[in-house]
Chain A
Amino acid sequence: MRVSVDRSMCVGHAQCSAICPSVFGSDESGYAVVLGDGSVEPGDENDARLAADSCPEQAITVTG
């Protein structure tokens, strides 16, 4: 499973990094960043999906 953030859509609600901090972080202005290369460890998959579902802007894409 992989995740990506569309930075043009992110406005910094910071729900993703709060829900799944092992996969998502935020930059110094609070916009979402994907930590690492975007691949998600099996143990983090549920939280990563919940983080994507919790984005009000729907800026997160989950594949695989």
Chain B
Amino acid sequence: MRARCAEAYAELRTGCPVFHTEAWGGFWVASRYEDVYEVGRDVARFASGPGAMLPPVGHGRPLLPMDADPPEHPEYRRLLLPRFAPAAVAGMEADVRDLARGLVDEIAGRGEADLYETLCKPLPMLLITRLLGIERDETFWAWTDTLIYGRVDGTSPEEIRAAADGLYGFLEGQVADRRRRPGRDDLISLLLQGDVEGRPYREDEILDLCFFLLIAGLENTAFGIRATLRHLAVEPGDRAAVLADPGLVHNLVEQSLRLYSPVTGLCRTATSDTVVAGQSIAAGERVLLLFGSANRDPAVFPDADEFHLDRRDGRHVAFGIGPHRCVGSNLARLEMRVAVEELLRRIPQFQLSGADPGWYDATRLDIVWDPEEVAR
């Protein structure tokens, strides 16, 4: 689907901007920017509590704060936002850069590498474990992989259940540890201080928040970094431009987010009978906000299917729109930018080692370069 998404999205936007599909129990798809904007920002008419992911993760628990509505939703965000605000994230840049530099140092002398496994995937993993204050563990990552990819790759419900049980069990242990030794600075300790209108978070809320904080920034961020680095590999002109003018990295990241939107879409559920773009939608029906299509809507972005390194196009909705805007957007942007900067700093010239794997899958990104040209 993503391989030919430009054509498919254009057909949807012009032919049937709010269309219905029977897939996954049936849902509507909003593909134009203006409709995604309208539905995403109206949390009274469109709820998130019934679940934003399609297909769902499959362990039967809400992904918090995403799958929440008022009064809980703004209360969860009130606790989390200061940790992911621009000032807080700026304070993480040195750490993120150290992690990225270490990963690039590992491969610099080799002359070839799969950037997905050596840089795109480990950078967000290393960072989130640091923020949560947990140790890395192979079993732990096998569980998260099963939950993230098992939704779509045919993993049995029993395996997904087992992975969820394993991961939640691990997180329960972490929460218990923070209760025994309070006062630490990590995100799990922060969750213990949360309240909803004066009521302390319940244990299940803490675990669900913990779980989603852990997985929300893994695959999505890895996908975003991969798509950006692949773009630099297949468009040497854009790579040369960023090398010549490092400030262009911001446009590079925003264009990459817009065109290669890591989160293709998320759902809302109508709270009452309503109408979107002339289409009646009944109470209880779901609407998928197709961010990837909204970001290619020529009504907002001229020549929308092209990568414009000379443009910002910051209005894109890669991180969503309205009160559910991705809490981690500032951190994700930082990771994408620093991954680019640290790769280009040591390995300014590189190319794909084989056929173009495309931007649309979270798969290998094999590149080659001349080890003699690696910068110190």
A interface list, Cβ under 8 A from B: 11-15, 17-19, 26-30, 50-51, 53-58
Contact = CB atoms under 8 A, between A and B. Distances in A.
Interface string B64-105: 000000000000001001101111000000000000000000
Interface of B: 37, 41, 78, 81-82, 84-87, 250, 312-317, 319, 321-323, 325, 329-330
A9 to B, nearest CB: 8
Contact of B314 (A19, A27, A28, A29): A19
3 closest A-B pairs by CB: A54-B314, A30-B85, A15-B314
29 contacts: A12-B81, A13-B314, A13-B319, A13-B329, A14-B85, A15-B314, A15-B315, A17-B86, A18-B314, A26-B86, A26-B87, A27-B85, A28-B85, A30-B81, A30-B82, A30-B85, A30-B86, A51-B314, A53-B315, A54-B314, A54-B315, A55-B314, A55-B315, A56-B37, A56-B314, A56-B315, A56-B316, A57-B41, A57-B322
Contacts of B78: 29
Given A13-B329, A14-B329, A29-B78, A56 B85 contact: no
Nearest to B84: A30
A50 to B, nearest CB: 6
B321 A12 contact: no
Contacts of B41: 57
B48 to A, nearest CB: 14
B86 A11 contact: no
Contacts of B86: 14, 17-18, 26, 30
B314 A57 contact: no
Nearest to B77: A29
Contacts of B313: 54
A58 B323 CA distance: 13
B323 A11 contact: yes
A15 to B, nearest CB: 4
Contact of B317 (A12, A26, A51, A56): A56
A14 B330 CA distance: 8
Classify the interface of chain A: helix, strand, loop or mixed: loop
Contact of A29 (B85, B315, B321, B329): B85
A56 B316 CA distance: 6
B78, B84, B87, B323: most-surrounded residue (chain A CB, <10 A) = B87
Given A50-B312, A53-B314, A54-B312, A29 B325 contact: no
Nearest to A15: B314
A11 B312 CA distance: 19
Contacts of A51: 314
Contacts of B317: 56
Contacts of A30: 81-82, 84-86, 330
A56 B317 CA distance: 7
A21 to B, nearest CB: 9
A50 B329 CA distance: 19
Given A30-B84, A58-B315, 16 more contacts: A11-B322, A11-B325, A14-B85, A14-B329, A15-B314, A15-B315, A17-B86, A27-B85, A28-B85, A28-B87, A30-B82, A30-B85, A30-B330, A50-B312, A54-B314, A56-B37
B325 A13 contact: yes
Contacts of A28: 82, 85, 87
A14, A51, A53, A55: most-surrounded residue (chain B CB, <10 A) = A14
A14 to B, nearest CB: 5
Contacts of B321: 56-57
A11 to B, nearest CB: 4
Nearest to B79: A29
A53 B325 CA distance: 18
A3 to B, nearest CB: 15
A1 B54 CA distance: 45
A11 B37 CA distance: 13
A55 B321 CA distance: 10
A24 to B, nearest CB: 10
A15 B325 CA distance: 13
Nearest to A50: B312
